[in-house]
Amino acid sequence: MNTPTSEAIVASLSAIVGSQTCLGTEAEIKPFVTDYRGLYVGQAAAVVLPSSTEQVSQVMAWCHENGVAVVPQGGNTSLMGGAVPGADGAAIVLNLRRMNQVLAVDPINDTMTLQAGVTLNAARTAAEDAARLFPLRIGSEGSCQIGGNIATNAGGTAVLRYGNMRDLVLGVEAVLPDGRIYSGLRGLRKDNTGYDLKQLFVGSEGTLGIVTAAVLKLMPLPRTSSVALAAVPDPAAAVALLGEAKKAAGQMVTAFELISGPALELVLEYLGNVRPPLEGRHDWMVLIELTSGGSSESLDQSLMQALESGMESGLVLDAALAQSVADAQSFWRIREEISDAQTRTGGSIKCDVSVPLSCIAGFIEEASAAVRALEPQARMIVYGHMGDGNVHFNPLRPKDRTAKEFLGACYDKVSHAVDSLAHAAGGSISAEHGIGVAKRDDLTQYKSAVELELMWQVKKALDPKNLLNPGKVLPAPGAASTPGNE
């Protein structure tokens, strides 16, 4: 079959979504074909911005019929190149931002139903307006969208308490590659009627269907929070301190984030005149947050109890308890800006790994030694969601080397060294950022032949023509490892 020309694609899809929202010129297309860090730059035959599930279905049916590939896109905040098309310009981008309606907030069932293009921020606000919490919390919440959060099984800073997106989704509506609509917008807590099909779409990175709407779980809105930054001698002490915090506050421990000294220095450099919460320089720190529906005094007391017992046993070297909401926000700001500070500096090697908590300290030690042996001057931007076992292990270029020089010399070696140590510790080479194209071919080393075969069988069952987000997640059978570069 001859694939249609760009002009024919634009003409046909305009008839479905309207000419104003089917973009075909180079200038119109450009903002949709580059990822937000500017590392993955593709081309597209057109960009469509549908306004309803019905339109998505018609676009998919037409593309299926005509052999046109489709790259679904939400807020385009992926770090793995998963939401932009390849360089050949054959695919279209289907962006969901116009499907941005909160359809219902139901405080009796504690559910919220929304279209895929609602930003995470807007979803959280809608929940709060009904005195509920939607607990997913990630740095890009102002621009990332619920559909993308589902497609990538987003994680973030509250997974320790509330789980990943996978744990927060009760129902999904998705358009299949041939245009059929999977209507699973149910808000049931219990539904044991066979395979849990909605979960197929969670974390599929847009390779199995396009999520168009979802029903999400709501939680009680905490009334108070208590936040502290504590310096610890090493990651092993941080793990022990987490144990103390759980002892003192149980499930009120909402976030437990590790921050290395170089990560803090980088972010302070980037933010300019921000006063660090702790005096002096520390190799390791943790940001701890407790939240509850109870009084703020008792929450502060629980956190103080954990910190004091940590100090007595040498797990805590120094600590600052936020005295106000503004304080807490400024502690969090430091944590949240680490990622952007790296993007602006350029030249960081993103390893997003998870290991069992019991192995995390040993892993960090071994991975640091391995990176130091390969690149003694690399800045060790090591941080992340320690409470759930997720470390962002991101060696960064030394100040006197360009990103190009540094990455050219060591990207593959370093990322392979870190990933293989995580794998050896029973961990994962992608804890929360997904696979996209950046880690796609690495999967051949870290997943068994059976796992890869099953992944391809699922893909072929739903997308036999391989038209939906082709080239993402699944390594071509027999592919060698070629990690993407920053």
Residues of this chain that interact with ligand 2HG (CB under 6 A) are 79, 139, 338-339, 342, 350, 384, 392, 394
**Nearest CB to ligand 2HG, comparing residues 340 and 412:** 340
Question: How many other CB atoms sit within 10 Å of the CB of residue 311?
Answer: 15
For residue 272, give Cα distances in angstroms to 266, 269, 275. Answer: 10, 5, 9
Closest separation between CB of residue 337 and ligand 2HG, Å?
9
Structural tokens at position 362: 């040993």
| Packed helices 6-17 and 53-66: angle between N→C axes, nearest 10 degrees | 150
Closest separation between CB of residue 191 and ligand 2HG, Å?
31
How far apart (Å, rounded) are the C-alpha atoms in residues 140 and 119?
Answer: 9
**Nearest CB to ligand 2HG, comparing residues 338 and 437:** 338
**Nearest CB to ligand 2HG, comparing residues 9 and 79:** 79
Closest separation between CB of residue 100 and ligand 2HG, Å?
23
How far apart (Å, rounded) are the C-alpha atoms in residues 178 and 175?
Answer: 8
Closest separation between CB of residue 345 and ligand 2HG, Å?
12
Q: Which helix (H) or strand (E) holds 257?
A: strand 253-260
**Nearest CB to ligand 2HG, comparing residues 12 and 339:** 339
Structural tokens at position 305: 């109890």
Q: Which helix (H) or strand (E) holds 114?
A: strand 111-115
Closest separation between CB of residue 430 and ligand 2HG, Å?
11
How far apart (Å, rounded) are the C-alpha atoms in residues 383 and 295?
Answer: 30
Structural tokens at position 442: 């690495």
**Nearest CB to ligand 2HG, comparing residues 86 and 203:** 203
Q: How far apart are the first and last CA of the chain?
A: 37
**Nearest CB to ligand 2HG, comparing residues 384 and 470:** 384
Give the residue nearest to ligand 2HG (CB). Answer: 339
**Nearest CB to ligand 2HG, comparing residues 57 and 368:** 368
Name, in order, each residue with C-beta under 8 angstroms of 470's C-beta and a sequence gap of 6 or more.
69, 86, 91
Closest separation between CB of residue 231 and ligand 2HG, Å?
20
Structural tokens at position 332: 């969090």
Closest separation between CB of residue 222 and ligand 2HG, Å?
21
Closest separation between CB of residue 130 and ligand 2HG, Å?
28
For residue 455, give Cα distances in angstroms to 7, 45, 98, 473. Answer: 35, 28, 31, 9
How far apart (Å, rounded) are the C-alpha atoms in residues 67 and 319?
Answer: 59
**Nearest CB to ligand 2HG, comparing residues 139 and 179:** 139
